[in-house]
Structure 1
């Protein structure tokens, strides 16, 4: 199991224990999930990185590649369904702090707008 599979495994076991308990062979399942995430990270990295630039040195390309990899990992992990909060969990109640509640409502509206725009 690669590191992506291990992260998905640990996250699911900790934050989605009911879902985790229903997986017949967690090691095999998360090994496959890890490979899927790795493939998506690689695809995103290549897309973000693009071709070598005409005036780019090997060192600049290497640094840009590391940055593209970090961004690709962040995007792939943030979008993977196994690394999302359990939809059955209730949202936290911020009503005792009106400023914080307003802030989280604004963030939820922004997130909703971004999801519908995509």
Structure 2
């Protein structure tokens, strides 16, 4: 399975800001493939927990869903990717 978008984002971040830790990973492709999948699953899990208010107006509801999805993605990336080196 190829590395997904989130795994590639994490890989780029690590190569820039966590190079020492990246160098210690035995199989970076496998690591970032799995991390990308975990990130994607966590985003889906958190999105499922949130319920939009729902106004009955299609465009307003769509915009609300997009806003919620972006906020969830941003938070998951902060929690799982853009963390300080240990």
- TM-score band, normalised by shorter chain: 0.7 to 0.9
Give the whole-Å Cα distance in 2 for the aligned partners of 1:52 and 1:84.
31
Q: TM-score, normalised by structure 2?
A: 0.82
| SS of 2:25 mapped into structure 1 | coil
In the other structure, the counterpart of 1:63 is: 63
Give the whole-Å Cα distance in 1 for the aligned partners of 2:40 and 2:83.
17
Q: Which has the higher contact order (CA 8 A, sep 6+)?
A: 2
Cα-Cα RMSD? 1.7
In the other structure, the counterpart of 1:35 is: 37
Give the whole-Å Cα distance in 1 for the aligned partners of 2:66 and 2:17.
30
Rg (Cα) greater in structure: 1
Report how many residues are paired: 84
Deviations 1:27-78 (A, max 9, x none): 1110110111111111222223x1673x423322221111111100111011
Matches within 5 A, 1:1-118: 1-48=3-50, 50=51, 53=54, 55-80=55-80, 82-87=81-86
Q: Structure 1 regions of 5+ residues with no counterpart? A: 88-118
Q: Structure 2 regions of 5+ residues with no counterpart? A: none
